[in-house]
Chain A
Amino acid sequence: MAAETKKVAQDLSAKLRTQKLRTAIAAIVFVVMAAGLILGVSTGTMSGFGWESISALCPLGAVATMLATKTMVPRAVISLVIMALLILVVGRAFCAWLCPSMLITRIQEFLRTPKKRRELAAETHDKMVDIAKYEITQAKESAGVKANGLSAKALGATYAAGAGDSAATVAAAATSASPANPINAASAASASAAVATASLSAQDKKALSGCGAGSCTAGCASCASAKQPHKKLDSRHYVLGGALLSTAIFGFPVFCLVCPVGLTFATVLVVWRLFAAGDMTIAVILVPALLIIELVFLRKWCTRFCPLSALMNLVSRFSKTFVPVIDDTKCLETSQGVPCSRCAQVCESDINIRHIAYGERTLADCSRCRNCADVCPTHAISFLVFAGAKAKSGARDGIPAPEAQPATVMLDEDALEVPSA
């Protein structure tokens, strides 16, 4: 099992090509800004960047400063408009491409032991694949119900699809020394028993949902209840509300004091001043400590706490551009009924792009990180310049009933895995 999950984990992180590019861009921008801070070149920080008297403000800072002083600040208003337009076009791309917190997360990942990495990868892998299996079962059931009585042929086709997959997986397991996923193989093995009868037996369901393989101890109900409530406002918005409330009451940008973006630059500054000016201050310890508390100990800062993320979400929820869209004719799950869900395992914004209902966040929070597109074995995910209608269908909960596919396609999928193993 350990060897298998290791393979999965390596496969996925090795495929994150855009992540390397993003990390490099964010690192370069950060270094340039930090150098500007040290050398006194007017580049600004991410709280307010620009040249000479031109500057774009952090949207939260812009709101906070105006709320605190109760005045309109022209540059803050202009910044807000520009930021809103940018967010409308690229959503929360700042989070994946520029935010220094992202760099800290990368460092944190880098510092993890391989064992820990494997465990985490295995955990998300099992969770997402279980969801996919459960959803496939559901889809087949409803397809079966629909087809029942209408056309015996269609019914047969649907079942054959399920059986075909199972057979294919068995074949794959037989040809490949290390199958992608032991659960797949195990469930396929038990599912193959159902091939003969070609009926959606309880055993088939059980096998497909993965419960039979022992990875799921809580039963199907746990998968059904794993659906996440997607409300208009979530915990981040409450943090944002708290920050603005405090700003309004006490009349200063309270959150700016503890903003992880600002604290990252503050770290550069205090450390630099410690060496350059001999400025000894407890901030040298306190600032990085606060940063670590926020980003490491408050789990999922970006998804659950960050008020900047909340503010961006208010606009990015209307973004219809450069949104990832799954081509259902290519996706392994919808075209072949294979519980792949690699896209859901790597999302940096806790979105399950395949089964939106199960992700903590929806596509409204997509940071355009491209992780999902990079790991998709069939390149089914693309970022359309405009994805109005398609984005909606991609975000839909249900999936179409799988169509029958030749077994070779499944073998191809496994072949994709072998070289990187």
Chain B
Amino acid sequence: MADKTNVPQGADAAGDATAAEGAAAPEPQGTKGAKKAKEPMSVSRRSLLIGVGSTAALLGLGAMRYAGHTPLNRPPGGQDEAHLVSACIRCERCYEACPRRVIVPAKIEDGLLGMRSPMLDFEAEYCDFCQEENGGVPKCVEACPTEALVLPAGASATSTIIGRAVIDTSTCLAYRDTGCRECYDACPYEAIQLTDVSINPHPYVVEDKCNGCGACEFSCVSMKAGSLATTGATRRAIIVQPVGTY
């Protein structure tokens, strides 16, 4: 069943296959032994094969847990990565619920384990904790039926840390004295301050105030500016790093 997906973990899956046999076999073998005389072997053997094969495949797939995945920015309430991965059934309700469409299903390239689990794509939008649309109560958390996304009572935008913004000074336009201050203007929490080193101020992130909403990354124009093609940047100059990666 999951043969394809097992490929990267071939060795693991094979190891698990034997474990699976031990785990899944007792039941079918018990019944087989008891009714051997009565029924055609083929049916029991087929059931056994299907059971053992599928269990092995599913255990191999389960072992993906150890393969992990790239750290991702999660919607509010999804910062306990282990809990999110455990509880999320990939129903995409949060994806649908987000009024700003900042939630996207994670790609397989970020790791099989996280595939289709919710992540925030700050290049598309940023998360305002549903301030505008739902009075500051995250709709994604409301919609999640499994409590994969869950916030403590009384959680607010400032108390919920999704991640933290960092500026790559080698690609930031402001650091090239272009006078850009898009992120500074965008940040709703005054987490970006400007230095007055020159006539063209440089932005920097006040870590205590940043909650990782992504407004800065969303507004950053560094990738749009053609002159940046020379730096070989693949991401915007300011990005939000997921909780646990800093």
A residues neighboring B (CB under 8 Å): 36-37, 40-45, 47-48, 50, 52-53, 55-58, 61-62, 64-65, 68-69, 71, 73, 75-76, 79, 225, 228-229, 231, 233-235, 238-239, 241-243, 245-247, 249-258, 262, 265-266, 269, 273, 277, 279, 281-283, 286, 289-290, 293-294, 298, 304-305
Contacts and interface: CB of A to CB of B under 8 A. Distances in A.
Contact of B92 (A239, A245, A265): A265
Contacts of B58: 239, 242-243, 245-246, 254-255
Contact of A258 (B61, B124, B139): B61
Report the 6 A-B pairs with minimum CB-CB distance, sorted nearest first: A238-B51, A242-B55, A48-B91, A250-B62, A246-B62, A61-B89
A257 B43 contact: no
Contacts of B107: 279, 281, 283
Interface string B73-117: 000000000110111111111011111010011011100110110
Contacts of A47: 89-92
B194 interface: no
Interface residues of B, number: 68
Interface string B137-158: 0010011011110000000000
Contacts of B112: 257
B27 interface: yes
Contact of A253 (B5, B63, B88): B88
B145 A76 contact: yes
Interface centre among B35, B46, B47, B113 (most CB of A within 10 A): B47
Given A233-B27, A238-B27, A281-B107, A44 B93 contact: yes
Interface in B14-51: 20, 23-24, 27-28, 31, 35, 38-40, 43-44, 46-48, 50-51
A282 B108 contact: yes
Contacts of A290: 2, 4-5
A269 B89 contact: no
A370 to B, nearest CB: 28
Contacts of A56: 145
B143 A52 contact: yes
27 contacts: A44-B92, A44-B93, A45-B93, A48-B93, A57-B145, A58-B91, A69-B83, A69-B86, A75-B145, A76-B146, A229-B40, A229-B43, A231-B35, A238-B50, A241-B51, A241-B55, A245-B59, A246-B55, A251-B65, A252-B62, A252-B85, A253-B86, A253-B87, A253-B88, A257-B2, A277-B124, A305-B1
Q: What secondary structure prevails in chain B residues at the interface with A?
A: helix
B50 A235 contact: yes
Interface of B: 1-5, 20, 23-24, 27-28, 31, 35, 38-40, 43-44, 46-48, 50-52, 54-59, 61-65, 82-83, 85-93, 95-99, 101, 104-105, 107-109, 112-113, 115-116, 124, 139, 142-143, 145-148
A238 B47 contact: yes
Contact of B96 (A41, A69, A71, A262): A41
Contact of A65 (B23, B87, B142): B87
Contacts of B142: 52-53
Nearest to B141: A53
B4 A55 contact: no
B24 A55 contact: no
A228 B38 CA distance: 10
Nearest to A226: B40
A239 B51 contact: yes
A256 B105 contact: no
B49 to A, nearest CB: 8
Contacts of A37: 92, 95-96
Contact of B54 (A40, A44, A239, A281): A239
